[in-house]
Amino acid sequence: MARFMDVHTGFIGVTEAQLKAAHGRDLAIQDDEGMTFERAWLDPETGKVFCLSTGPTREALMRIHERAGHPTAEVYEIPVEVV
């Protein structure tokens, strides 16, 4: 499975509760595409949201986000990780 970081824009003023709800919509349907959405980070001042996930393809990730109501085309595969 590949690991991905994707970026959303336009979330200015969004609260932590709203981010949890959006993330929950991904979690509710992630199995449909073999995805696992691990974490999400929010900067409400800039409106940026960053999501970390694993799954089969970039396109599978994009389909889940589209269906969950927060599409993005800014998806990066993360082939190298240092802990």
Local confidence band at 6 (pLDDT 50, 70, 90 cut-offs): very high
The pLDDT, as a whole number, for residue 28 is: 98
Average pLDDT over residues 26-46: 97
**Half-sphere exposure of residue 73: CA atoms within 13 angstroms, side-chain side:** 0
The domain locations on the chain are 2-77
Query: How many whole angstroms separate alpha carbon 11 and alpha carbon 61?
Result: 19
Tell me the whole-structure pTM to 2 decimals. 0.93
Q: Assign domain 2-77 to its CATH superfamily.
A: ORF SCO4226, nickel-binding ferredoxin-like monomer (3.30.70.3090)
**Average pLDDT in the chain:** 97
For residue range 40-56, what is the model confidence (pLDDT) as tens digits? 999 999 999 999 999 99
C-alpha triplet 71, 78, 34: angle, nearest 5°: 55
For residue range 62-75, what is the model confidence (pLDDT) as tens digits? 999 999 999 999 99
